[in-house]
């Protein structure tokens, strides 16, 4: 039994995330956590909401609520939806927690002690009307290059030219529309990532088994142009972790907070502390190499937009602190999921959002499609046709129908109890050999976190059940040799129990439904397949379950395609 620490990139607080966000981190992280638990490992799975920053303040203002209240509410909303998708976090924390405040300030102090913090005075656009400094992309104006009137301060969406806010003609605040803007000087703290460059490069180079997506992005940031740049870790905002050091003021940093990218990943640790406080558990044995974490394997999941922070910035924080913190062992990153020929768009309400998804179909349907199409090697695309085909074929026809035909056949011929003791004849022995190979392939894919391949291998195991039943043909055998037919069904019922155990990481509710119907609660992973296939003894009572999955009709598909094409309701 090994110990696995798993974290999912923490979703931002301002609103409900879409399916692309879900499949990019939380869902595959959950798959892996469930799999490792299933195999008997000790798992700590942490996620949280990322609550600081300008967008949170603006969203709260728009909602007419104090930002702390807004975040608390949205956290509960996101937690409820995560529960709806059966995301099995050990703790779903908040980056605004007292634990994270203390720990973020602690890291800042540790980094300062190591000489890795420097002050930088920079100029930034200030909106007098809004009373706040504006990030570049919160400034709009006419593009000096192409004349596009809604060019953003960092880049023109029309001609894609990179801009500086001062280049814009007639600049205005995106927030208020105000043109009362001026350049002001402001002092910020920078993390000297550049000083960590060689150490980070050597570390990344040692990670030869990481997805290319993880390493290529990291290397680009490390070596592109002048190489890894120092990065500001403070902002002129009121909502955030005060830019102090272990609670002591830092001269000149009054009224400033740490920048979200700095405090958000620290929440992985602080979230574990929150968990410890809640449960009385020991967080340090997961995170402190001097307090029991040396045998922990730490895996992070994230979308590609988060890779630089997790491969460079957060490791700079960890390594730079010179304290014995656990560093990540494996970074699993994902590309984007597109929606029907374009992008998912939060602002335009394009695509399916997590709450809407649960409103039209149970979580297993989404989990299965998203995981079996996870954007691992390239961007993937969600289409309703594809979704309908996968759900109907894989879930309803292959797995659901298998469970249905076996339990119903047994009920009609032998009643609702196990009709025999499992005996392996030639046919079953051959099937078991195939199953063993398939199971090994499934486990290998899961161990390597090859999500799509794992789904493929799992499905192949389901198909074996249909192949077996079709060849054994108990509906024919029963007419001449009832004992043999009973044996076939007993074997098939036990096979179905195995499917529940093996499928649980992907489709936990359906797995539970199978187990409930089989009147069984033995989720032991089939390390010993010969014993596992005999788990349900002769005479064991079971129930015929409702159909596990229903099919998606063409009418529904068309209706949904129309409904989610634009404008979120």
The smaller minimum CB distance to RNA, of residues 43 and 487, is found at 487
Burial of 495 (0-12, 13-18, 19+ CB in 10 A): buried
Residue 410 is assigned to a ligand binding site: no
Ranges assigned E (strand) in 248-403: 257-258, 296-303, 330-334, 337-339, 342-343, 380-382
* CB 517 to RNA: min, Å: 12
Q: Known binder of ligand: residue 346?
A: yes
Structure tokens at 526: 């089939």
- Which residue, 212 or 529, is less far from RNA as judged by CB? 212
Site for RNA in 385-414 (CB under 7 A): 385-386, 389, 393-398, 400-401, 403-406, 408-409, 412
Rg of the chain on CA atoms, in Å: 27
**Cβ of residue 566: shortest distance to RNA, in angstroms?**
17
Are 284 and 291 contacting, i.e. CB atoms less than 8 angstroms apart? yes
User: Is 71 annotated for ligand binding?
Assistant: no
* Among 100-108, 177-185, 229-237, 501-509, the segment contacting RNA (CB under 7 A): 229-237
Rounded CA separation 314/317 (Å): 5
CB of 522 to RNA, least distance (A): 23
Beta bridge partners of 8: 301
Quick one: which of 294, 379, 481, 554 contacts RNA (CB under 7 A)? 379
Give min distance, CB of 206 to RNA, in A: 18
Residue whose pair of structure tokens reads 């009832």 in the numeric block: 482
| Smallest distance, RNA to C-beta of residue 127, A | 12
207-226: contacts with RNA (CB under 7 A):
212-213, 216-217, 220-221, 224-225
Q: How far is the CB of 324 from RNA (least distance, A)?
A: 27
HSE toward the beta carbon, residue 516, CA cutoff 13 A: 9
Q: How far apart are CA 521 and CA 414, in angstroms?
A: 23
Stretch 190-209 residues interacting with RNA (CB under 7 A)? 193
Integer angstrom CA distances of residue 131 from 70, 349, 534: 20, 29, 71
Residue from 208, 429, 470, 480 in contact with RNA (CB under 7 A): 470
144 phi and psi, to 5 degrees? -70, -15
Element (H, E) at 182: strand 181-191
Bridge partners of residue 331, in order along the sequence: 300
**Residue 272 Cβ vs RNA, minimum distance, rounded to whole Å:** 20
Site residues (CB under 7 A) for RNA, limited to 153-182:
153-155, 160, 162
Q: Which alpha helices (DSSP H) does 238-313 contain, by range?
A: 260-279, 284-287, 307-308
Name the nearest CA neighbour of 263 among 243, 283, 278. Answer: 243
Q: What are residue 91's DSSP bridge partners?
A: 46
Min dist CB 391 to RNA, Å, is 10
The residue within the footprint of RNA, chosen from 232, 281, 324, 526 (CB under 7 A), is: 232
Measure Cα distances from 159 to 138, 144, 147, 171, 172 in Å: 18, 10, 9, 17, 19
Choice from 453, 486, 504, 568 touching RNA (CB under 7 A): 453
* Residue 540 phi, psi (nearest 5): -65, 125
Under rule CB under 7 A, how many of the chain's residues touch RNA?
87
β-pair partners for 353: 18
**Burial group, residue 540, by CB count within 10 angstroms (0-12, 13-18, 19+):** middle
Q: Pick out residues in 16-45 that bind RNA (CB under 7 A).
A: none
**Residue 13 backbone phi and psi in degrees, to 5:** -75, -25
Per-residue binding string, RNA, 487-526, x by CB under 7 A, is ----------------------------------------
Q: Of these, 336, 365, 384, 542, which contacts RNA (CB under 7 A)?
A: 336
Mark the segment that binds RNA (CB under 7 A) among 51-59, 85-93, 276-284, 556-564.
51-59
Residue 95 beta carbon to RNA: minimum distance, rounded to whole angstroms: 8
Q: According to the annotation, is 143 in a ligand binding site?
A: yes
Q: How far is the CB of 248 from RNA (least distance, A)?
A: 25
Cβ atoms 465, 402 nearer than 8 A = yes
Q: Which of 145, 343, 516, 519 binds RNA (CB under 7 A)?
A: 343
Residues 130-149 that bind RNA (CB under 7 A): 133, 135-137
Q: Which stretch binds RNA (CB under 7 A): 253-261, 427-435, 513-521, 531-539?
A: 253-261
Told to check if 317 binds RNA by CB under 7 A, we report no
**Footprint of RNA on residues 277-316 (CB under 7 A)?**
304-306, 308
Structure tokens, 313 = 């910035």
Window 78-117: residues binding RNA (CB under 7 A) = none
Map the footprint of RNA across residues 345-374, applying CB under 7 A: 373
Contact 211, 74 (CB under 8 A): no
User: Is 481 one of the binding residues for RNA (CB under 7 A)?
Assistant: no
Task: Tell me the closest approach of the beta carbon of residue 527 to RNA, in angstroms.
Answer: 26
Q: Which of 73, 277, 329, 456 binds RNA (CB under 7 A)?
A: 456
Residue closer to RNA by CB (options 138, 330) is 138
Residues 419-448 close enough to bind RNA by CB under 7 A: none
Burial of 160 (0-12, 13-18, 19+ CB in 10 A): exposed
- Within 13 A of 371's CA, how many CA atoms are on the CB side? 32
Q: Is 556 in the site for RNA (CB under 7 A)?
A: no
Give the tokens for residue 431: 């099937």
| CA–CA dist 218, 235 (Å, integer) | 24
Q: Give the residue numbers of the binding site for Zn(2+).
A: 143, 146, 156, 159
Q: Give the residue numbers of the binding site for ATP.
A: 346
Q: Give the residue numbers of the binding site.
A: 143, 146, 156, 159, 346
């Amino acid at each position: 039994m090994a110990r696995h620490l798993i974290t999912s990139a923490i979703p931002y607080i301002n609103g409900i995330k879409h399916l692309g966000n879900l499949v990019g981190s939380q869902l595959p992280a959950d798959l892996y956590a469930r799999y490792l638990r299933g195999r008997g490992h000790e798992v700590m799975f942490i996620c949280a909401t990322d609550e600081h920053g300008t967008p949170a303040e603006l969203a709260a203002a728009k909602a007419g609520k104090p930002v702390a209240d807004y975040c608390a509410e949205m956290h509960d909303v996101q937690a409820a939806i995560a529960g709806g998708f059966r995301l099995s976090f050990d703790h779903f924390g908040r980056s605004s927690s007292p634990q994270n405040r203390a720990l973020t300030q602690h890291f800042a102090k540790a980094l300062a002690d190591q000489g890795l913090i420097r002050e930088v005075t920079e100029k930034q656009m200030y909106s007098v009307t809004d009373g706040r400094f504006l990030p570049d992309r919160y400034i709009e104006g006419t593009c000096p290059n192409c004349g596009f009137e809604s060019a953003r301060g960092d880049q023109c969406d029309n001609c894609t030219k990179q801009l500086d806010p001062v280049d814009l003609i007639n600049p205005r605040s995106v927030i208020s529309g105000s043109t009362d803007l001026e350049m002001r000087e402001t002092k910020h703290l920078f993390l000297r990532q550049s000083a960590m460059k060689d150490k980070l490069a050597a570390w990344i180079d040692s990670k030869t088994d990481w997805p290319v997506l993880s390493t290529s992005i990291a290397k680009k940031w490390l070596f592109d142009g002048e190489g890894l740049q120092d990065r500001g870790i403070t902002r002129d905002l009121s909502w955030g972790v005060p830019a102090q050091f272990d609670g002591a003021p830092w001269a000149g940093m009054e009224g400033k907070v740490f920048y979200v990218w700095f405090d958000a990943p620290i929440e992985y640790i602080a979230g574990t502390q929150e968990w410890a406080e809640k449960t009385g558990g020991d967080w340090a044995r997961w995170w402190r190499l001097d307090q029991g974490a040396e045998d922990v394997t730490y895996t992070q999941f994230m979308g590609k937009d988060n890779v630089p922070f997790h491969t460079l910035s957060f490791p700079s924080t960890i390594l730079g602190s010179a304290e014995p913190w656990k560093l990540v062992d494996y970074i699993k990153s994902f590309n984007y999921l597109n929606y029907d020929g374009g992008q998912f768009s939060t602002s335009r309400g394009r695509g399916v959002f997590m709450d809407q998804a649960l409103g039209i179909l149970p979580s297993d349907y989404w989990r299965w499609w998203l995981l079996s199409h996870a954007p691992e090697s390239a961007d993937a695309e969600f289409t309703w046709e594809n979704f309908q085909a996968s759900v109907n074929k894989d879930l309803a026809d292959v797995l659901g129908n298998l469970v249905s035909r076996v339990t119903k056949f047994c009920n009609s011929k032998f009643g609702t109890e196990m009709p025999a003791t499992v005996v392996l004849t030639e046919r079953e022995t051959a099937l078991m050999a195939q199953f063993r190979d398939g199971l090994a392939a499934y486990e290998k894919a899961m161990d390597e976190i090859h999500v799509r391949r794992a789904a493929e291998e799992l499905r192949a195991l389901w198909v074996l059940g249909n192949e077996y039943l079709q060849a054994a043909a108990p509906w024919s055998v029963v007419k001449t040799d009832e004992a043999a037919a009973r044996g076939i069904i007993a074997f098939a019922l036990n096979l179905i129990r195995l499917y529940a155990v093996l499928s649980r990481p992907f489709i936990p509710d359906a797995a539970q439904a199978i187990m409930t119907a089989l009147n069984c609660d033995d989720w032991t992973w089939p390390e010993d397949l010969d014993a596992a296939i005999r788990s349900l003894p002769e005479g064991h009572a079971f129930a015929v379950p409702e159909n596990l999955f229903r099919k998606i009709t063409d009418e529904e598909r068309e209706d949904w395609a129309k409904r989610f094409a634009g404008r979120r309701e």
